[in-house]
């Protein structure tokens, strides 16, 4: 009995310790900043105060990596009462990875995409601790003409990516006002790209966003199901957004609007579908990801798919119209062929009848009887009469011409010679 109690208490203790260890520790930004200054780096390049909370990812509950946006610098920060900062990268200032996506997968730190120095980098790199530098990952089937990453996020072991391309699939460059887009995923276990769909559309003057993507913000915290983004405002406040990775949707909610700006002592993080907010006094508030009223939601997956759907709908309508026109065309040709076939059968007989009465002048109605077309509708009679006269005149054995009636100049008879 005592043994069971000890085992139960041990399990309970381990669960408590595990629960506590999952909460991010206090991040003393003043101490961290003072230590980073000792490395003698350009403060303008680091932009520490503005983007520090967007440039960190947690290795575990007490260790995080800090990669200043737009650089290849990397720092390891061990959180404690006095944090310990180490520079673990020998890489120099890069300048090409502004707006990159920073994430950890299988304990490896990755950086995907980026912009800078009038260039775009559409590739994936990872940090190699042994080399203390960044290495590019080769991705199978990755589009050779990828120009830039307009939107990306991690969903399980997949890196979802929305790409802008230099040219169309056959290599013909598009106009200045249009470009080619594609949406797909990179399997981070196989490093293989799978394309889901493509479409062409107008460029935006702000191509990186332009309705196709969104700014990651001044604060970011990433979990398996969601990522939290915070955007500093001029009045010292912050606006938070929640990105649903499975839906591909960025949401603003009334619950998030009520939260204050984090400073390291206060902090915001998410586990599974639960959001945790630790205030400056250490009090932790929890609420579900779907709590509160959704004030605005931007569904990027639906937006991308709608572009393809619109194009497919246009193609389908075009094919249906073309198919209808082709059916009408072939029906007309068939009827015309049948008509010509009927005429050719009776042509010799008609020609012999006309030879027997030439030269003479007969009325239109008499000619229609000789042609065997008097029982048709008015329009059909006109068409067949004209066709027969042209064929007879062309053959040359009979000549038929219109002459005005002697008693009424408004109408015509037919002279056969």
User: What's the longest Cα–Cα distance across the chain?
Assistant: 135
- The listed range with the strongest mean pLDDT (38-42, 227-231, 339-343) is 227-231
Which is more confidently placed, 358 or 133? 133
Segment holding 383, helix H or strand E: helix 378-395
CB atoms within 10 A of CB 311: 15
Query: What average pLDDT score do residues 57-74 get?
Result: 92
Q: How far is CA 118 from CA 12, 46, 121, 331, 411, in A?
A: 56, 19, 10, 60, 82
Listed range (119-133, 194-208, 255-269) with the worst mean pLDDT: 194-208
Q: Give CA 10 to chain center in angstroms.
A: 51
- Evaluate if residue 148 carries a pLDDT over 90: no
Spatial neighbors of 270 by CB under 8 A, at least 6 apart, are 221, 223, 225, 226, 227, 228, 242, 276, 289
* Cα–Cα distance measured from residue 242 to residue 219, given in angstroms and rounded to the nearest whole number: 12
Task: State pLDDT tens for residues 351-392.
Answer: 777 777 778 888 878 877 777 777 777 777 788 888 888 887
Task: State pLDDT tens for residues 280-316.
Answer: 888 999 999 999 999 999 999 888 888 776 555 555 5
Segment holding 164, helix H or strand E: strand 158-165
Query: What average pLDDT score do residues 171-184 get?
Result: 65
Query: What average pLDDT score do residues 235-248 get?
Result: 93
pLDDT at 372: 77
pLDDT at 403: 80
Which is more confidently placed, 324 or 292? 292
* Cα–Cα distance measured from residue 332 to residue 140, given in angstroms and rounded to the nearest whole number: 53
- Evaluate if residue 414 carries a pLDDT over 50: yes
| H-only helix segments in 151-243 | none
Q: Give CA 364 to chain center in angstroms.
A: 69
Which is more confidently placed, 306 or 193? 193
pLDDT at 202: 66
Listed range (199-208, 310-319, 408-417) with the worst mean pLDDT: 310-319
* Strands of the sheet with 192-202, listed across from one edge: 146-155, 158-165, 178-187, 192-202
| H-only helix segments in 187-299 | 254-257
């Amino acid at each position: 009995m005592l043994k069971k109690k000890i085992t139960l208490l041990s399990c309970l203790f381990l669960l408590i310790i595990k629960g506590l260890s999952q909460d991010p520790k206090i991040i003393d930004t003043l101490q961290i900043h003072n230590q980073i200054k000792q490395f003698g780096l350009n403060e303008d390049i680091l932009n520490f105060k503005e983007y520090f909370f967007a440039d960190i990812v947690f290795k575990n509950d007490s260790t995080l990596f800090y990669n200043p946006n737009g650089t290849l610098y990397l720092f390891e920060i061990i959180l404690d009462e006095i944090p310990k900062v180490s520079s673990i990268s020998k890489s120099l200032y890069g300048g090409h990875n502004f707006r990159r996506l920073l994430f950890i997968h299988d304990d490896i730190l990755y950086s995907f995409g980026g912009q800078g120095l009038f260039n775009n980098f559409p590739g994936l790199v990872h940090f190699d601790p042994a080399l203390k530098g960044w290495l590019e990952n080769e991705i199978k089937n990755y589009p050779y003409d990828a120009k830039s990453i307009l939107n990306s996020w991690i969903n399980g072991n997949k890196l979802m990516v929305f790409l802008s391309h230099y040219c169309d699939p056959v290599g013909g460059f598009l106009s200045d006002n249009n470009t080619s887009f594609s949406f797909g995923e990179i399997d981070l276990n196989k490093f293989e790209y799978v394309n889901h769909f493509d479409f062409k559309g107008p460029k935006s003057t702000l191509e990186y966003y332009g309705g196709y993507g969104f700014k990651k913000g001044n604060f970011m915290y990433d979990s398996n199901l969601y990522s939290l983004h915070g955007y500093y405002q001029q009045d010292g406040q912050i606006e938070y957004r929640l990105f649903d990775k499975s839906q591909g949707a960025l949401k603003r909610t009334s619950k998030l609007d009520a939260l204050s700006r984090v400073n390291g002592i206060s902090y915001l993080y998410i586990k599974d579908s639960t959001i945790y907010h630790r205030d400056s006094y250490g009090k932790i508030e929890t609420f579900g990801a779907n709590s509160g009223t959704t004030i605005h939601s931007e569904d990027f997956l639906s937006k991308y798919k709608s572009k393809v759907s619109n194009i497919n709908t246009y193609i389908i309508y075009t094919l249906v119209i073309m198919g209808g026109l082709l059916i009408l065309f072939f029906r007309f040709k068939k009827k015309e062929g049948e008509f010509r076939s009927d005429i050719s059968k009776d042509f010799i007989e008609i020609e012999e009848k006309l030879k027997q009465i030439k030269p003479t002048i007969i009325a239109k109605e008499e000619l229609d009887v000789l042609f065997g077309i008097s029982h048709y509708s008015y329009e059909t009679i006109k068409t067949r009469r004209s066709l027969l006269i042209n064929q007879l005149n062309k053959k040359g054995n009979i000549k038929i011409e219109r002459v005005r009636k002697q008693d009424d100049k408004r109408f015509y008879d037919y002279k056969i010679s």
